[in-house]
Structure 1
Amino acid sequence: MKFFSKFIFRVFLFIVVLLNLSNPSFSQTIVRALPGFPGDLPFKLETGYVEVGEREDVVLFYYFVESERNPTDDPLLIWIAGGPGCSTLRSFFFQIGPLTIEYPDASKEIPDLHLNPYSWTKLANVIFLDAPTSGFSYAKSPETYKNSDTLSAKYTYQFLSKWLQKHPKFISNPLYITGISYSGITIPLIVQEIFNGNEAGNEPRINIAGYIIGNPLTDRKIDFNTRIPYAHQVALLSDEIYESTKANCNGEYVNVQASNKLCQSALEKVDECLENVYIYHILEPICTSDSSTRSLLQKKISSSTNKYSVPLPRAAKLKGQQWCRENTYLYTDVWANILSVRKALNIREGTIGKWVRCNTDHYVIGKNDTVNYAYDVSSTLDNHRNFTKKNCRALIISGDHDMAFSHLGTKHWIRDLHLNVDSTWAPWFVKQQVAGYTESFSHDDFTLTFATVKDGGHAAQEFKPEECLAMVSRWFDHNRL
């Protein structure tokens, strides 16, 4: 009888395992070593999948790094990439993650990985989330490949709810939704979803503390129309060209009527001045006429035996050319397409072919909805206004050499919130040097800190990592920058 009972129990366990394997709505792996890094990782890295959507047919991939300081008490961040439709691997390697890619030696088959001394994981637990159908995230059917601003926010809220259920020790940690660029649209939507869910009594209750956005797209009309005033302020446009353009276009440089020939003519002169300036950092060399990362995705795949490999930018190919920052991003393409890397990350076989940094839904000015993505939110100003009625903190960061979404546009929409001024424009310092300028605002239990990063581009964390780590460390501790 005992034998029969044990047999039934074992059969039951076997069935449970099979059911979990056939419906893996959540899976996670502790990664102890990575190709390109010598020895074991000196931090805790977890990768995994969470299935979201009404039928759990959208599968989101994430990298999670526990805080290297005090994971029990340190804040929990979820990092949302821009695009939309971009992987977080660029942020992991080049902005706030624990590792960086060494790129001087292009002859190596696997790029070297080195520790990043300015990683935000020095003081926070960080989830790097690949947005729906970007990076290693995938959809189970063509229908669920379609996405939008609002859907992406709903998926991220579902992801957080499920992830916290599987990681209950982080439920009480203060949560900050963080990211850059186009995430200025999606992050406020995610924060709104969390507040709505908490007010509806959804479990688990998410301990939302606030949000951090760098170089954000917040309002398309404001942010795109301030590019020309910014270019004038930094001496890329003459007084005459700027004043003529401003007068003939009436301050509207995006939605210009075809019949307004004087405005069209003025904008042609503006284009002539700006077309060869790197929009993401006006002092750095431009790589291509299309300065977005989409241009790099057109490079041909290597014909080597590794069908997913991508060729590195050899020194011979770049002879006579200036160094370009965007060429370094190719190393993420190389690394993520190495089969041993995929095995180490426990990537599900057959889910992703060639890994790409950003898919074709990457947003550009004037672009309409694509077959797979609906840009259904043009401004998140109303969301920010709603947060002024909540117990919430916000940190908005602008690299002052970014022309894509300049600090002028960001200051414009912050003024439109009509907040109380707590501290006026003043420098903040790192190592006794001016690192940028800051001002702070409030309304009841809502606070907003705005900070520029001197010589920072798009995004500031990539160009000035030491300064940005110092900034967020002070901000998390509720200190002045």
Structure 2
Amino acid sequence: MKVVACTWMLLSMCLLGHHLIIYGEANEDQVLDNFLKSRLLKKPSPAVHYSSWFDVNTDHSSDYIQPQEGSMETDKISALPGQPSGVDFDHYSGYVTVDSKAGRALFYYFAESPENSSTNPLVLWLNGGPGCSSLIGAMMELGPFRVNSDDKTLFRNNYAWNNVANVIFLESPAGVGFSYSNTTLDYQRTGNKSTAKDAYTFLLNWLERFPQYKSRDFYITGESYSGHYVPQLAHTVLLNNKNSNQTIFNLKGVAVGNGWIDDRTGRLGKFDCLWTHALNSDETNKGIHTYCHYFNGNDSEQCENFIHKSYTERGEIDGYNIYAPLCRLNSSASTKGSFDSVNSFDPCSKHYMFTYLNRADVQTALHAKVSTWDLCNDLISIAWTDRPVTILPIIKNLMTNGLRIWLYSGDVDSVVPITSTRYALNKLMLPIKTVWRSWSTNDEVGGYVEEYDGLTLVTVRDAGHLVPSYQPARALTIISSFLAGALPPP
């Protein structure tokens, strides 16, 4: 029997009285914006101080590791409906139980490399939100396939990241995508700490299921609110690596795209981005700088008025990519990418993916137990229990432990723009090792890079919030360089 995840959603809709995003319409930018607004409306702010992260008890007893014999073979996908011919890699999907008492299980999709899978590194990918599915990454960004506009067939992504790594896409936390819990209260007490703990438990059990990867070089990557997820999970892994009774992860580094890492600089950078791209007036930007000091819910009414004016002035554009066309499914004027083309991103792709993943034959092929899939679960973010206001101290801690840290950013994203990332990095005051320079892909400038002592910043030219969606070739250059420990080619 399939687990139906929408019962709690319908109940919570009545209890919370909150405006919900229509199925198939949710975006990481909408969810992140709603999440930040909901945090600011609550007084005192539920944001927790980062220092509590350095005292988290992350010890896991042997009860957290479940028997995995035969599960890898069971999870193997024979074929996805509508997949193209000539698929030359193994892929898997299924569930890993992270709390047997609560019945909490996380869904994953795993794509091995077509070549050198036995030696290529292992990469974990996490989408943000909080509350958005990592199948967005698998089916719209860096995964091996994308969905055609017929909602029925797939085409190959020639720039998929599994060309250079074995990639796990994890739907986290429970309640997101196909992941679920049999204890519905779990959906109302999710936060940063529980998400990191469950993701770590997932990894422990997943490596028991795929033991050939236990000693492999391991990297954690993601985008958007994964600016929280990725560093916090990496910190959890490092803490547990000190426990000799646990599996030791060969964690080498982390990479985050357009990541939300600091509340104040994130908000300020967002509005400065709109102004510098001529989407806001001088008056509005001056008003925000004058009246919005902390973005913590205690700003004046004038601040809120200017923020509202900023969004009004921006108009109906795609916040993910301020120069991209909007999806018009029912309009002949809709701008779509070429059929079977990964080089021209179709703004309606999320609708094709939504329809495809809600087909019964696709869910059967994926071994899914949840009958309704959506891009994001806004209710997860509404009920979020904890988050630090800044991740910068955790990033500094990861630097101290010698991890490779890359922050990359599409330069036409207004959701978490490069402006916000640069403002945040300025707070770290890091010495520069390699001065700002351009890098290239296919004899074109792909973006710009600056290497600091312990951290690398990379921009991606003409890329939005979902960098691999808009610039797949440039994104592959970035991840290839990151894994190789070299800066992108000049």
Q: Structures share a fold, TM > 0.5? A: yes
Separation in structure 2 between the aligned mates of residue 190 and residue 202 of structure 1, nearest angstrom: 19
**2:99 matched to which residue of 1?**
53
Q: Is the counterpart of residue 235 in structure 1 residue 253 in structure 2?
A: no
CA RMSD of aligned residues (A): 2.4
Separation in structure 1 between the aligned mates of residue 131 and residue 292 of structure 2, nearest angstrom: 34
- Kindly provide the amino acid, as one letter, of the partner of residue 353 in structure 2: T
How many residues are aligned here? Answer: 411
**2:376 matched to which residue of 1?**
358
- The one of 339, 345, 358 aligned to 2:366: 345
- Kindly provide the amino acid, as one letter, of the partner of residue 470 in structure 2: F
Q: Is the counterpart of residue 117 in structure 1 residue 128 in structure 2?
A: no
- Kindly provide the amino acid, as one letter, of the partner of residue 387 in structure 1: L
Task: Note the residue ranges of structure 2 that are not aligned, 5 or more in a row.
Answer: 1-65, 337-344
**2:459 matched to which residue of 1?**
452
What displacement does 1:318 show? 2.2
What displacement does 1:68 show? 2.0
Q: Is the counterpart of residue 285 in structure 1 residue 325 in structure 2?
A: yes
Q: How does 1:371-390 map to 2 (within 5 A)?
A: 373-390=384-401
**2:405 matched to which residue of 1?**
394
**2:238 matched to which residue of 1?**
195
User: Residues 86 and 362 of structure 1 are in contact (CA less than 8 Å); yes or no, is this contact kept in structure 2?
Assistant: no
Separation in structure 2 between the aligned mates of residue 222 and residue 202 of structure 1, nearest angstrom: 40
Separation in structure 2 between the aligned mates of residue 472 and residue 38 of structure 1, nearest angstrom: 25
User: Residues 32 and 40 of structure 1 are in contact (CA less than 8 Å); yes or no, is this contact kept in structure 2?
Assistant: no
Q: How does 1:5-154 map to 2 (within 5 A)?
A: 27-28=71-72, 29-39=75-85, 41-53=87-99, 55=101, 57-103=103-149, 106=150, 110-131=151-172, 132-146=174-188, 147-154=190-197
User: Residues 175 and 380 of structure 2 are in contact (CA less than 8 Å); yes or no, is this contact kept in structure 1?
Assistant: no
Distance 1:151 1:264, change over 3 A: closer
What displacement does 1:139 show? 0.5
What displacement does 1:276 show? 2.2
What displacement does 1:321 show? 5.0
Separation in structure 1 between the aligned mates of residue 414 and residue 69 of structure 2, nearest angstrom: 41
What displacement does 1:99 show? 0.7
Residues 94-119 of structure 1, C-alpha deviations (whole Å, 9 max, x = no match): 1110111121xx4xxx5221111000
User: Residues 46 and 64 of structure 1 are in contact (CA less than 8 Å); yes or no, is this contact kept in structure 2?
Assistant: yes
Distance 1:23 1:473, change over 3 A: closer
User: Residues 150 and 186 of structure 1 are in contact (CA less than 8 Å); yes or no, is this contact kept in structure 2?
Assistant: no
Separation in structure 1 between the aligned mates of residue 96 and residue 480 of structure 2, nearest angstrom: 30
- The one of 237, 240, 261 aligned to 1:218: 261
Separation in structure 2 between the aligned mates of residue 347 and residue 164 of structure 1, nearest angstrom: 20
Distance 1:264 1:477, change over 3 A: closer
Identity rate of aligned residues, in percent? 28
What displacement does 1:433 show? 1.2
Separation in structure 1 between the aligned mates of residue 165 and residue 68 of structure 2, nearest angstrom: 28
Residues 262-312 of structure 1, C-alpha deviations (whole Å, 9 max, x = no match): x45544542331132321111123459xxxxxxxxxxxxxxxxxxxxxxxx
Q: Is the counterpart of residue 471 in structure 1 residue 478 in structure 2?
A: yes
**2:5 matched to which residue of 1?**
none
User: Residues 68 and 205 of structure 2 are in contact (CA less than 8 Å); yes or no, is this contact kept in structure 1?
Assistant: no
Separation in structure 2 between the aligned mates of residue 73 and residue 357 of structure 1, nearest angstrom: 32
User: Residues 429 and 435 of structure 1 are in contact (CA less than 8 Å); yes or no, is this contact kept in structure 2?
Assistant: yes
What displacement does 1:56 show? 5.9
1 or 2 for the larger relative contact order (CA 8 Å, sep ≥6)? 2
Separation in structure 1 between the aligned mates of residue 192 and residue 318 of structure 2, nearest angstrom: 27
**2:448 matched to which residue of 1?**
437
Separation in structure 2 between the aligned mates of residue 264 and residue 190 of structure 1, nearest angstrom: 34
- Kindly provide the amino acid, as one letter, of the partner of residue 75 in structure 1: P
What displacement does 1:195 show? 0.5
Distance 1:55 1:435, change over 3 A: same
User: Residues 98 and 121 of structure 1 are in contact (CA less than 8 Å); yes or no, is this contact kept in structure 2?
Assistant: yes
User: Residues 399 and 405 of structure 2 are in contact (CA less than 8 Å); yes or no, is this contact kept in structure 1?
Assistant: no
Partner SS, residue 256 of structure 2: strand
Query: TM-score, normalized by length of structure 2?
Result: 0.78
- Kindly provide the amino acid, as one letter, of the partner of residue 377 in structure 1: P
Separation in structure 2 between the aligned mates of residue 115 and residue 250 of structure 1, nearest angstrom: 46
Q: Which moved more, 1:459-468 or 1:415-424?
A: 415-424
